[in-house]
Amino acid sequence: MQISHSFDQDFALPVGGAVRVLLITGASDDPLAIRLRALGGLVDVETELYAALSELIDDPSGYGLVVIDCDRIGGAESGEAAIRTLKAVDSRVPLIMISESHAAHSFPEDRGTAIRLRAPVSVVGLRVGYEHALRDRMIWNAA
């Protein structure tokens, strides 16, 4: 007997409650926004790094997650500059960086350290990163 299981690779069941996500990427119609929405995120797309950081700094409690597609905004160096800026203002918003320059996915236990996903990121990789970034929120909601 052969059993086959298939599932839609582009969409997934929502994770946790609705979380406002700031996606920093090079194009306003980036498919990554659709994938984040499928996970339950309320996605705001910003195509300019420093405008996005200004928005985040001005409204720190407005976002539950920041996702930076480094390769579309100038490379991993731009992502590192964003991290330094957010640390300088003591931002506690979880951060996911996506780049081809990352050797592998990295899911640090330290909540102040960015999650790093190697591009191109799979649906499963993005979901695990999303869940890892929001683990405190999901635990709080479950309690």
Are 97 and 116 spatial neighbours (Cβ–Cβ below 8 Å)? yes
Q: Enumerate the β-bridge partners of residue 68.
A: 24, 97
Residue range 72-100: average pLDDT? 93
- Three-class SS state of 65: strand
Residue ranges per structural domain of the chain: 19-142
Which of 57-61, 81-85, 120-124 shows the lowest per-residue confidence on average (mean pLDDT)? 57-61
Task: Check residue 114 and report its DSSP letter.
Answer: P
State residue 140's pLDDT score: 47
Q: What's the whole-model pTM score?
A: 0.85
Mutual orientation of helices 123-133 and 135-142 as an angle, nearest 10°? 70
Q: Tally Cβ neighbours within 10 Å of residue 103.
A: 7
- In angstroms, how far is the first alpha carbon of the chain from the final one? 42
Mutual orientation of helices 76-88 and 49-58 as an angle, nearest 10°? 20
pLDDT digits (tens, 9 = 90+) for 19-59: 999 999 999 999 999 999 999 999 999 999 999 999 999 98
Q: Enumerate the β-bridge partners of residue 99.
A: 118
Contacts of 134 (CB under 8 A, 6+ apart): 15, 16, 19, 64, 65, 94
Q: Tally Cβ neighbours within 10 Å of residue 133.
A: 24
CATH superfamily of 19-142: Response regulator (3.40.50.2300)
State residue 9's pLDDT score: 46
Question: Dihedral (C-alpha) 105, 107, 111, 114: value to the nearest 10 degrees?
Answer: 0
